[in-house]
Homo-oligomer: A and B are copies of this chain.
Amino acid sequence: KQGRVDMGHGAGGRAMAQLIDEVFARAFANEWLGQGNDAAVLPAPAAGERLVMATDAHVVSPLFFPGGDIGCLSVHGTINDVAVMGARPLYLAASFILEEGFALADLVRIVNSMAAAAREAGVPVVTGDTKVVEAGKGDGVFISTTGVGALPAGRDIGGANARAGDVVIVSGSIGDHGTAILSQRESLAFDTEIVSDTAALHGLIAHLLELVPGVRVMRDPTRGGLATTLNEIAVQSGVGISLEEAAIPVHPQVEAACEFLGLDPLYVANEGKLVVICAAADADAAVSALRAHPLGTEAARIGEVIDDPNHFVQIRTGFGGRRMVDWLSGEQLPRIC
């Protein structure tokens, strides 16, 4: 039992208090978590700002993958959902479901990665929870994170705001995260290792909004990939979207891995990419703003918003053909995040 999670770590007594002190509180160390009460008391957003709130459970398997692990992923993912609304992420809550027998050394590694990601992003984990389930009733560790942010007055960004004539931009290459996970899972070794793009996007977004405050839609194309994200936006905005296949950045090793695995990169999850839709007049400025930031160097204009009563997403292929790009169906990529 030494060095492993046991049921006592979730029972609410001394063993749990010790685990929280020595692993979680030590790593996340900040004044809010240090209050040690049932809830954290925090400065509210500035006058006139609105609150923004998002949550994601993380069940990625394997827990460690090229470019990251479930810990930093759970920080990045929730920060990104707050940030794409145009909000400043302020605070994170984190709840852990540990499986009995999970190695404490792995837990420490994950929590430290999470703490490092939170510190780098400047968004502290201010409150948490720790539960333990019996061996065979969980899978190592699941982490749910919830983020709260502040949205400046007058800012209105959301999936319903796209209009015909707008331009669709992506902040970089697609398919990296999902392909990295799948390669790891299938123990595939490619010539060039595929690395997850997991990253917090609020810095990139702040830079973009400073130069192009009129951005209409932002979304992080996670589960379901770019294809599904654009379909969601098309339905929400009541428009169609037309893409240029040749313009969509895909790393050659991702292209090759997807071919090998029978996947279409358009449907593969990303964890550090941003879809931006803005007025045509703003498009060049938006692409340059993104490219000027380390997380957006491969940003590209990939299509446009069109009138379409069916709210379809379509793509112009290399040979001048066209095909429909439907929502992801089925279950091709389980437990990708």
Contact = CB atoms under 8 A, between A and B. Distances in A.
B53 A127 contact: yes
A286 B142 CA distance: 41
What is the total number of copies of this protein in its complex?
2
A275 to B, nearest CB: 11
Interface stretch (A92-100, A103-111, A164-172, A246-254): A92-100
Contact of A147 (B39, B81, B329): B39
Contacts of A71: none
Contact of A59 (B37, B58, B131, B148): B131
Contacts of A58: 131
Q: Is the interface of A mostly helix, strand, loop or mixed?
A: mixed
B139 A6 contact: no
B137 A139 contact: yes
Interface residues of A, number: 90
Contacts of A298: none
Contacts of A318: none
Given A45-B44, A144-B144, A224 B129 contact: no
Contacts of A51: 41-45, 51, 91, 148
Nearest to A133: B59
B81 A38 contact: yes
A152 B7 CA distance: 38
Contacts of A97: 57, 59, 97, 142, 144
8 contacts: A11-B331, A12-B336, A13-B228, A37-B158, A39-B81, A44-B44, A97-B144, A133-B139
Interface of A: 6-8, 10-17, 35-45, 47, 49-59, 80-82, 84-85, 87, 91, 93-97, 126-134, 136-139, 142, 144, 146-151, 158-160, 219-220, 222-225, 228, 232, 236, 269, 327-336
